[in-house]
A and B are shown apart, each in its own frame.
Chain A
Amino acid sequence: MCKPANIFFLFGVLIFASCKVDPKIIEPLPVSGLVEVVPEGWPLPKYTFSVNTLSEEKFALGRALFYEPMLSADNSVSCGSCHQQFAAFANADHAVSHGINDLVGTRNSPGIFNLAWHPYFMHDGGINHIEVQPLGPITNTLEMGADINPVIVKLQASSRYRDLFKKAYGSDTVNTQKMFRAMAQFMGLMYSYNSKYDYYKRQENNETLSDAELRGYNLFISKCSSCHTEPLFSDFAFRNNGLPVNVFVKDSGRAHITGLPGDRYKFKTPSLRNIAKTAPYMHDGRFTTLQQCLDHYTKGVTNLTNLDPLLQNNGLQLSANDKQDIIAFLQTLTDYKFLGDKRFSDPNF
């Protein structure tokens, strides 16, 4: 249906090649001179900035908008409310998103990083492009609850935003395209590829994994990686991982988008990067610890409609020690440089 742009192949290759020679390029991006990065060994991203030319000013506008409560109906909720940097831009301690008027959503707020590689967005994959993704939560009545036109009016009326738009685009006229492309720069440049695991894989900093972490990695490769595929730790497929259906929400997942019975209760495989920081877990945030997640895969898989073939026959077979090792490995996927990168923090503080 949609063909991913591949015209930046050469560009990607150049970056990729330069990654190999110059390890500095994989340091956190400098504050000035925003660049696209394809970390060593990664596929080319789906989203490049070919049409949406990168600039400091657009990035700054996108950053301001990401943390802007005016994007919600009553100026109380910003994107950053449910996407917190210390939680890898997931929402700490919230099973599901908490919107305007104390309304409660139906799904867990996912972490935000490496979005340029995502073929689609949301747990059900309903949104097909990073630039139109913000429309989902902004207009969701349980989240930011806004209509887009009043949001444009509010931004247009703000001298701060007129200034930011003018700096970014040369004109202070606000429109959705300028707004969403700026946000796509801010979110699209949230690269996370500097975890302990990454240093180990790239053989940098003399990084080593402990025995437990290595055992966990090997178990991960044999038990988990067919869905949580390296290096992004997701295959981006839609799968039913055997969670019992929440009878109050009855979230049909991917079927909500496709209308196909074969997609019922399937959700997009989430990345496991930064997983130690993005609790609670699963599409509805029903588990609070990684231990609970692994226990689900060994003891809790429910054989309902469309259970993923890889989880048939009672899920995964893992001993208690195996689980401890896998959790030790998952902890190596935390990218502390990303979590502390000032360029992505709230500019108002």
Chain B
Amino acid sequence: MKNIIKFISIILLTVFISCKKDTKDPEPVPEPMPVTPTSGTLKIEFEHMFDTVEFNLGQNYKTANGDTVKANMLKYYISNIVLTKNDNTTYADPNGYHLLDVSDPASTILDIPNIPIGSYKSLSFILGVDSASNCSGAQTGALDPAKGMFWNWSTGYIMFKLEGTSPQSGSSTKTLTYHAGGFGGANKVQRNFNFNFATTTSNITGNNSPYIHLSVDVNEFFKNPATINVATQYFLMSAGATAKMYADNYADMINFEHVHN
């Protein structure tokens, strides 16, 4: 250990001296300490699928009902991410709210920084925005109403937004418009996800680049328990029983795939 300190000190000193030009009084070089990391960053990757094939905007897929659907927008909130260690202590993501937008691949990989090192056995989060943040006035960041995920006439976040087209759509423009919102009581459309990593833990060492790979099956929006028939079910833009029906469908759309350490 001491040798490493010496070695680094010498290198830094050399660098410092060689950079020095007119400085008359070189400050003493701060003693560099080898730091044992106490935390690390975890990536959570959401890979979008339609059944077993890769999901992309602008491509046709066949729903459980046999309808051909093509999405041009898919956005949803993931919030309240909590990681649980083997010893049952937990770490909550301080960033709180993430807006995933399939048209922006970078937004589908979440960086969770400053996680204390250790072995983690499970992950939980909410699809949607918790009730409190729906009642707290003007928010910023992912919750900025300018993101287009906010109802202006009946306050609340659109938790899940899927738009596209289908030749079978009952709308005169053959469009599909699904904006699911409703944050409290019977109208809640937030859904909780909780994944145990089974045999492999997610190890945060501070020196690795671990990630958790999740898959999101978009077809689950169109089925189970309610099989969606786009001839009649092509429009959703308010909270209530219909939004809740769709939420019950997407409640199992995200699955745990594997952990990389």
A139 and B139 in contact, given A1-B185, A148-B146, A175-B144 (Cβ under 8 angstroms): no
- Which of B131, B139, B238, B239 interacts with A177 by CB under 8 Å? B139
Residues of A near B240 (CB, < 8 A) are: 258-259
Contacts of A148 in B (CB 8 A): 145-146
Count of inter-chain pairs, beta carbons less than 8 A: 77
Contacts of B193 in A (CB 8 A): none
CA distance A181 to B136 in the complex (A): 11
Alpha-carbon distance A131/B133, docked complex (angstroms): 13
A side interface size, CB within 8 A? 32
Residue of B nearest to A2 (CB): B135
A59 to chain B, nearest CB (A): 16
Known: A2-B135, A152-B146, A259-B239. A127 touches B140 (CB 8 A): no
| In the assembled complex, B155 has its CB within 8 A of some CB on chain A | yes
Q: Residues of B contacting A73 with CB < 8 Å? A: none
Q: A126-B155, A149-B146, A152-B146 are in contact. Are A176 and B135 (CB under 8 A)?
A: no
Residues on A with beta carbons closer than 8 Å to the beta carbon of B138: 129, 131-132, 176-177, 179-181, 184
Q: Are A129 and B146 in contact (CB under 8 A)?
A: no
A272 within 8 A of B: no
Q: In the complex the two chains form, is B144's CB within 8 Å of A184's CB?
A: no
A119 → B minimal CB distance (Å): 11
Contacts of A138 in B (CB 8 A): 152
Inter-chain contacts of B144 with A (CB < 8 A): 175-177
Say yes or no: A2 contacts B131, CB within 8 Å: yes
**Chain B residues bordering chain A, tally (CB within 8 A):** 24
* B154: A residues at CB distance < 8 A: 126-127, 256-257
A168 at the interface (CB under 8 A from B): no
Residues of B within 8 A of A149 (CB): 146
- CB pair B135–A136 under 8 Å, yes or no, is no
A289 at the B interface (CB under 8 A): no
CB under 8 Å from chain B, chain A span 110-141: 122, 126-132, 135-136, 138-140
Instruction: State whether A127 touches B155 (Cβ < 8 A).
Output: yes
- Chain B, interface SS category: loop
Q: Chain A CB within 10 Å — which of B144, B150, B153, B184 has the most?
A: B153
Residue on A nearest B182 in the bound complex, by CB: A259
A52–B139 alpha-carbon span in the complex (Å): 12
Determine if A132 and B185 form an interchain contact, defined as CB atoms under 8 angstroms apart.
no
Question: Could you mark each residue 134-164 of chain A with 1 if its beta carbon is under 8 Å from any beta carbon of chain B, else 0?
Answer: 0110111000000011001000000000000
**Shortest beta-carbon distance, A8 to chain B, in Å?**
15
On chain B, the residues within 8 Å of A131 by CB distance are 137-138
CB-CB under 8 A from B153, the residues of chain A are 122, 126-127, 136, 140
* List of A residues within 8 angstroms of B183 by Cβ: 1
- A152 / chain B contacts, CB cutoff of 8 Å: 146
Instruction: Let me know if A175 and B140 touch, CB within 8 A.
Output: yes
**B145 contact set on A, CB distance < 8 A:** 132, 135, 148, 176
Alpha-carbon separation in the docked complex, A179 to B138 (Å): 9
A51 to B140 Cα, complex, angstroms: 13
Docked complex: A28-58 residues within 8 A CB-CB of B: 51-52
Residues 1-34 of A at the B interface (beta carbon under 8 Å): 1-3
Are the C-beta atoms of B135 and A1 separated by less than 8 Å? yes
B84 CB to nearest chain A CB (Å):
28
Contact assessment for A176 and B146 in the assembled complex, using a CB-CB cutoff below 8 Å: yes
Give the chain B neighbours of A175 by CB distance below 8 A: 140, 144, 146
B229 to chain A, nearest CB (A): 21
Closest chain B CB from A26 CB (angstroms): 27
B155 A128 Cβ-Cβ under 8 A = yes
Query: B141 — nearest CB in chain A belongs to which residue?
Result: A177
- Bound state CA distance, A322 and B180, in angstroms? 51
In the bound complex, how far is the Cα of B134 from the Cα of A52, in angstroms?
A: 17
Nearest CB on B from A252, distance (A): 12
Instruction: Please give the distance in Å from B244's CB to the nearest CB on chain A.
Output: 11
Within 8 A of A (CB), among B147-184: 150, 152-156, 183-184
The docked-state distance in angstroms from the alpha carbon of A108 to that of B154 is 18
The listed residue with most A CB atoms (<10 A of its CB), out of B139, B183, B239, B241, is B139
User: Can you name 13 A-B residue pairings with CB atoms under 8 Å?
Assistant: A128-B156, A129-B135, A129-B137, A131-B137, A138-B152, A148-B145, A175-B146, A177-B139, A184-B137, A256-B154, A259-B238, A259-B239, A259-B241
Nearest 10 pairs between A and B by C-beta? A131-B137, A2-B135, A1-B184, A180-B138, A131-B138, A135-B152, A126-B154, A259-B240, A129-B137, A128-B155
Given known contacts A2-B135, A131-B137, what 20 new A-B pairs fall within 8 Å (CB)? A2-B131, A2-B184, A51-B137, A126-B153, A128-B134, A129-B138, A130-B137, A131-B138, A132-B138, A132-B150, A135-B152, A149-B146, A152-B146, A176-B138, A176-B140, A180-B137, A184-B137, A259-B238, A259-B239, A259-B240
